Amino acid sequence: MTFTVQNTGNLAGDEVAQIYYRHVHSAVPQPRLALCGFSRVHLNPGETGEVTISIPAERLRYRDPQNHKYVVEPGDYELLIGSASDDLPATLPLTISPP
């Protein structure tokens, strides 16, 4: 996934772009949000930069207590992008199909 970030301030600095996910209608209890990728980028004042974060499907897994193994549950997900778990202005839908 690739997106842009911009330094709107007057000083150079680092931004840690973060991507969280949530399963929209999970059959089992899962965390409300889970971090699945992040990247640090240095930007000068007014500079815009591209950030690319790879999110393999196995990052969306959870431990199935009945089968005692990690699984990725098929269904609808949301990817939430921002600078912190309480600042996620962009949301993208994602669907994982059954194998």
Query: Which H, E and C letters describe the chain, residue by residue?
Result: CEEEEECCCCCCEEEEEEEEEEECCCCCCCCCCEEEEEEEEEECCCCEEEEECCCCHHHHCEEECCCCEEECCCEEEEEEEECECCECCEEEEEEECCC
pTM of the predicted structure, to 2 decimals: 0.88
pLDDT at 79 > cutoff 90: yes
- The pLDDT of residue 30 is 86
Q: In the predicted model, what is the mean pLDDT of the chain?
A: 94
Give the chain's domains with CATH numbers: 2-96 (2.60.40.10)
Per-residue pLDDT tens digits for 37-74: 999 999 999 999 999 999 999 999 988 888 899 999 99
Per-residue pLDDT tens digits for 9-31: 999 999 999 999 999 999 888 88
